[in-house]
Amino acid sequence: NAGVTQTPKFQVLKTGQSMTLQCAQDMNHNSMYWYRQDPGMGLRLIYYSASEGTTDKGEVPNGYNVSRLNKREFSLRLESAAPSQTSVYFCASSGPRTNYGYTFGSGTRLTVV
């Protein structure tokens, strides 16, 4: 099925460890996004990539880096994880054919201890 695939689904990290969250879409969408979801705060944009080769900061970029590896893939890296980064992370993609409505991945539940 076409869609957005995120890996891993669950992860527990120790403070200071690093990890990369992977995201891939097969809908030929130009734009991709990383959000985090925290209780009572909705979804907050971390980084986005309007097109292949470009990335930009969102609302809460501190502590994160991203790479738009190609049109399909957009990864999110935590260089030195902190307990404040405990959250559920969602990747999404969009394109002009859907008037930029998003297709979301199933999420990564990250716990930093």
Partner 1 sequence: AQSVAQPEDQVNVAEGNPLTVKCTYSVSGNPYLFWYVQYPNRGLQFLLKYITGDNLVKGSYGFEAEFNKSQTSFHLKKPSALVSDSALYFCAVRDRGNQGGKLIFGQGTELSVKP
Candidate list 33, 34, 64, 74; residue touching partner 1; CB under 8 A: 33
In angstroms, rounded to a whole number, what is the distance separating the alpha carbons of residues 93 and 50? 10
Q: Which of residues 36-65 bind partner 1 (CB under 8 A)?
A: 40-45, 48-50, 56, 58
Work out whether 1 is an interface residue with partner 1 (CB under 8 A).
no
Q: Which of residues 68-87 bind partner 1 (CB under 8 A)?
A: none
Cβ atoms within 10 Å of 7's Cβ, excluding its own: 14
67-72, long-range: CB < 8 A, 24+ apart: 68/32, 71/28, 71/30, 72/24, 72/25, 72/26
Work out whether 31 is an interface residue with partner 1 (CB under 8 A).
yes
* Candidate ranges 19-27, 64-72, 77-85, 105-113; the one touching partner 1 (CB under 8 A): 105-113
Binders of partner 1: how many residues, by CB under 8 A?
Answer: 26
Binding residues vs partner 1 (CB under 8 A): 31, 33, 35, 40-45, 48-50, 56, 58, 90, 92, 94, 99-107
